[in-house]
Amino acid sequence: MATFRKHGKGWQVRVSWYDDDGKRHYTSKAGFKTKTDAKAYALELEQRKMTHTLSKKTITFSEYFWEWFETYKQNKISDVTSNLYRIIRNVLINAFGNKKIDKITRRDYQLFLNEYGKTHAKVTVKKVHSILKATVKSAIYDGVVIKDFTHNVELTWNDDKTYKVEYLNMSEINKLISVTKEKINRHYTSRYMILTAIYTGLRLSEIAALTWKDINFNWKTIEINKSWDYHRNTFKDTKNQSSKRIIRINDELLQLLSELKQNGNELVFLNQFKNIPTSNAVNKTLRKLLKEADITKKGYHFHSLRHTHVALLLYNGVDIYAISKRLGHSDLTTTTRKYAYMIDELKSKSDDHIEDVLDDLSKKNTSDFVKKNQKY
């Protein structure tokens, strides 16, 4: 039931309702210029009463976000991804404080994005917005908010923070492979892991989890069906379902991997200390090898080998769809978005190839025309 009364120079509305336990609650709001405005607000509250979405209290944006994460996301994502959600919760606490989620307007959210975008790259802003948009959509389903305040906002970002994919060219790849093989020793498996990344584009956690059952020497394939949890020193699931895949490999890599069979371990890259080299260990080895190869790449790290593998395939004309499947991406959009910078750089090579093809076509037609007319 709604009641109205004059309050100062304006109007106040008061609505009461009963919860599922039969307890009566009240909510009121003042400051309406006219009684008509107060009635419109009351009607909105009455509708929420009918759909059981009116409650005595709501929670803050950060509180709802974390509740949503623990209920719907926590058991489905990796520890690394979970850390991103923790970071976002802290961002929400700093940006919105104790402001209730149902009090946040589209303008509030846009101002938040504007401020956040000043110090973050495009990919980060898009990722955070995507997660928060899903959060608000869930809040609407739960009846915590009525409108989607993330709808049709404008994303802003700092171009200087935008990460450009680093990769090696063909000459540098050959140099790195050469110096990596020079002092290779089956008891120290970091170099083998680096070469595997160059030839396959696998993630470090996928390489670390490989067992001999995953490598088929007859069919020349590697099956990726799990990854390695460095925190717990055990297997864990792959990044997502699409990461489970079987890829073809070359004889060179098979020959290198066969050397590790002599170690007699179930895990392919277990070293003489019965450990799998950590991210720090393989990156230390990689930096040393780059220096030996006289390759200067600031910020180049193990995951950059995955980018190098993509560059190698693109440069040699491998179809982007095949590359996407080989990388274990969920769809082609992920691949083209992530490697857009690299694709643009290699576009000139494709354009030159197209021009050569068209020139050859023109030459062939001209030659055929000349031969045909010589008969007459």
Is residue 175 located within the same domain as residue 144?
no
Question: What's the chain's length in residues?
Answer: 376
Give the β-pairing of 221-224 and 10-18: unpaired
Q: What is the pLDDT of residue 17?
A: 62
Number of domains within the chain: 4
| Under 8 Å between Cβ of 96 and 112 | yes
Domain end among 132, 161, 190? 161
Does any domain span residue 56?
Answer: no
Is residue 12 located within the same domain as residue 157?
no
Q: How far apart are CA 281 and CA 301, in angstroms?
A: 11
Per-residue pLDDT of the chain (376 residues; tens, 9 = 90+): 677 888 778 888 877 766 656 666 667 777 888 888 888 877 877 776 665 555 545 789 999 999 899 888 887 777 778 889 999 999 999 999 999 999 999 999 999 999 999 999 888 999 999 999 999 999 998 888 889 999 999 999 998 876 666 788 888 999 999 999 999 999 999 999 999 999 999 999 999 999 999 999 999 999 999 999 988 899 998 888 889 999 999 999 999 999 999 999 999 999 999 999 999 999 999 999 999 999 998 889 999 999 999 988 988 888 899 999 999 998 888 888 778 777 776 666 556 656 666 777 656 555 655 555 665 5
Q: Could you please report the per-residue DSSP string of 295-351?
A: ---TT--TTHHHHHHHHHHHHTT--HHHHHHHHT-SSHHHHHHHTHHHHHHHHHHHH
Does any domain span residue 241?
Answer: yes
> Which of 13, 8, 9 has its CA nearest to residue 36?
13
Is residue 331 located within the same domain as residue 246?
yes
Max CA-CA distance within the chain? Answer: 105
Q: What is the pLDDT of residue 248?
A: 96
Q: Alpha carbon of 85 to those of 59, 89, 136, 318: distances in Å?
A: 18, 6, 15, 36
Strands in 10-18's sheet, in edge-to-edge order, are 2-7, 10-18, 24-32
Question: Which value, in Å, is the radius of gyration of the alpha carbons in the chain?
Answer: 30
Is residue 30 located within the same domain as residue 144?
no
Q: How far apart are CA 195 and CA 252, in angstroms?
A: 10
Is residue 334 located within the same domain as residue 218?
yes
CATH number of domain containing 306: 1.10.443.10
Return the number of other C-beta atoms located less than 10 Å from residue 184's C-beta: 16
Does any domain span residue 263?
Answer: yes
Does any domain span residue 195?
Answer: yes
Strands in 245-248's sheet, in edge-to-edge order, are 215-216, 221-224, 245-248
As separate numbers, helices (DSSP H) first and strands (DSSP E) second, the chain gives 14, 8
Q: How far apart are CA 163 and CA 339, in angstroms?
A: 11
The amino acid occupying position 285 is T
Is residue 187 located within the same domain as residue 324?
yes
Is residue 157 located within the same domain as residue 175?
no
Is residue 175 located within the same domain as residue 274?
yes
Question: What angle, 0 to 180 degrees and rounded to 10, lies between the N-to-C axes of helices 79-96 and 61-68?
Answer: 170
What range does the domain containing 29 cover?
A: 2-50
Q: Alpha carbon of 149 to those of 130, 170, 299, 340, 345: distances in Å?
A: 13, 48, 38, 30, 38
Q: What is the pLDDT of residue 56?
A: 44
Is residue 229 located within the same domain as residue 282?
yes
Is residue 242 located within the same domain as residue 321?
yes
Does any domain span residue 86?
Answer: yes
